[in-house]
Structure 1
Amino acid sequence: MKKLMLTVAITVGTILTSNAQSDSKVVQLGAKGGVNFASVTGDDFDSPDSRTSFNAGIVAEVPYSERFSLQAEVFYSGQGFEVEDINVAGVNFDTNKVEYQLDYIQVSLLAKVYLIEGLNVYAGPQIGFKVNEEIDCESGDVNVDDTMLPEAQDFDFSGTVGAGYKFDNGFFVDARYNYGFSDLIKDTDSHNSVIQAGVGFMF
């Protein structure tokens, strides 16, 4: 939690410092939310189905010109994947679907380019702090600590690319793809893979 708070503080400090050095508009603050279609890629995972969840958080954008700005974000992101079943130490979680839930607080810093008025593309790094990990099945939720399954790492470093449109009234829509560069589980070829679509409003 201390590392999360420190990262958030550094991100906010960076965006505010950038605003002080900018000769354009002031920081625009906003809120956003949307849907996640999350899964895991890599040789150690056999193409699991995606988990449908949500994301919600706050954004801060500093424009440097009509075409370029920096955007910082802090948001909750429901990630993970679905499989038909999981067998742990001879115990089968017998169900039609097993949802492996991995929930994060994500902190991102994006470089944003406006192609035309309103229409923008962006990319940048993202750090995820795991806040929940459990298995959801018909027989009930199961803590990963109570099984022999390896736990996901506490931190996830990923990259984000996306596009959006911001209307004159501050309302915006966007879609993005997040790919985890760090291993989801230590010493395995496993990476978070998330498609997000959402809406928001800049005040």
Structure 2
Amino acid sequence: MKKLFLGLGLVAGTFAFAQTSPTFGVKAGLNISSISDDGYEDAKSKAGFYGGLFMNAPLSEQFSIQPEVLYSQYGAKTVDTYSSALGSVRNSASVNLDYVTVPVMFQFHATPAFYLEAGPEFGFLVGAKAKGDTTVTPSGGSSETSAYSTDIKDNITKFNMGAGLGIGFNFTPNLGINARYVAGFTDINKQNDGEDGTTSVENDNNKNRNNTFQVGLSYKF
């Protein structure tokens, strides 16, 4: 809870630094997310969605600060195909991590329309699931598929932190496009206390971090 107040406090604190009245808007777009490969060597990038609200507060003629509150889908997927005594087997699985994120971007406006940005992102987990299916195709027979979906929220840390670096271009004073890469700093695997009082870590002590590339549109009111 303290971390949530920290993120929201940074949003509220930007009003104190604004030189002129801030503007507000909405933004949405595509996430191409992945999980660092410690224990996920075969993982591929997964597409997801992000969307939410932002406030842009000018600090000077060339600098501004933009806190955001977004719903953002992170995770990764794997696809594995091999042959067995049963026939051809195809396993497809994905880890779906849903966050409320609070990026706080410091923007440098090289021109009135073009800007660079960088800053921290604070994420708060709201959902986590592992989904997948296995398809077995016997030689000369028809395929059979079985699927599963498991809630893994108890195995994932509730707080995620990263840093974003991006660029943007405003087509008009209201409409713009933005691309951003967010590199995770925190391990997504939760540490659990065992029955014997010792501390254990899920996923065989692997340390995994969220990484995502975002591209989308923004609209200022």
TM-score (normalizing by structure 1): 0.84
The one-letter code of the counterpart of 1:143 is D
Q: How many Å apart are 1:4 and its aligned residue? A: 6.7
Q: How many Å apart are 1:74 and its aligned residue? A: 0.7
Judge conservation of contact 2:129–2:150 (CA < 8 Å) in 1.
yes
Render the CA deviation track for 1:52-106: whole Å, top value 9, x for unaligned.
1100011101112221101101101100000136xxxxxxxx8642111011110
**Matched position secondary structure for 1:17:** helix
Identify the residue that residue 179 of structure 2 maps to in structure 1. Answer: 175
**Matched position secondary structure for 2:95:** strand
Worse-superposed segment, 49-58 or 39-48: 39-48
Residue 141 (structure 1) aligned with residue 140 (structure 2): no
CA distance in 2, matches of 1:133, 1:62: 33
Judge conservation of contact 1:40–1:47 (CA < 8 Å) in 2.
no
Q: How many Å apart are 1:5 and its aligned residue? A: 5.3
Identify the residue that residue 38 of structure 2 maps to in structure 1. Answer: 43
Counting only pairs closer than 5 Å after superposition, residues 59-70 of structure 1 correspond to structure 2 as 59-70=54-65
Instruction: Select the residue among 106, 109, 127 that pairs with 1:111.
Output: 106
Q: How many Å apart are 1:153 and its aligned residue? A: 1.1
CA distance in 1, matches of 2:29, 2:149: 24
Residue 189 (structure 1) aligned with residue 207 (structure 2): yes
Q: How many Å apart are 1:171 and its aligned residue? A: 0.4
**Equivalent residues, number:** 186
RMSD between aligned residues: 2.0
Question: Gaps spanning 5+ residues in structure 1: where?
Answer: 86-93
CA distance in 2, matches of 1:95, 1:5: 41
CA distance in 2, matches of 1:189, 1:165: 36
Judge conservation of contact 2:37–2:43 (CA < 8 Å) in 1.
no
**Matched position secondary structure for 1:46:** coil
Runs (4+) of structure 1 exceeding 3 A deviation are: 2-5
Q: How many Å apart are 1:42 and its aligned residue? A: 3.8
**Matched position secondary structure for 2:155:** coil
Q: Identity rate of aligned residues, in percent?
A: 26
Judge conservation of contact 1:105–1:130 (CA < 8 Å) in 2.
yes
Judge conservation of contact 2:8–2:102 (CA < 8 Å) in 1.
no
Question: Gaps spanning 5+ residues in structure 2: where?
Answer: 81-88, 134-146, 191-204
CA distance in 2, matches of 1:18, 1:116: 21
Identify the residue that residue 158 of structure 1 maps to in structure 2. Answer: 162
Counting only pairs closer than 5 Å after superposition, residues 112-131 of structure 1 correspond to structure 2 as 112-131=107-126
**Structure 1 pair 137/95, CA: closer, same or farther in 2 (3 Å)?**
farther
- Greater share of residues in strand: 2
Judge conservation of contact 2:11–2:104 (CA < 8 Å) in 1.
no
The one-letter code of the counterpart of 1:188 is N
**Structure 1 pair 200/50, CA: closer, same or farther in 2 (3 Å)?**
same
Q: How many Å apart are 1:9 and its aligned residue? A: 3.5
TM-score (normalizing by structure 2): 0.77
Render the CA deviation track for 1:139-164: whole Å, top value 9, x for unaligned.
2421126xxxx812111110000000
**Matched position secondary structure for 1:65:** coil
Larger Rg: 2
Q: How many Å apart are 1:167 and its aligned residue? A: 3.0
CA distance in 1, matches of 2:103, 2:15: 15
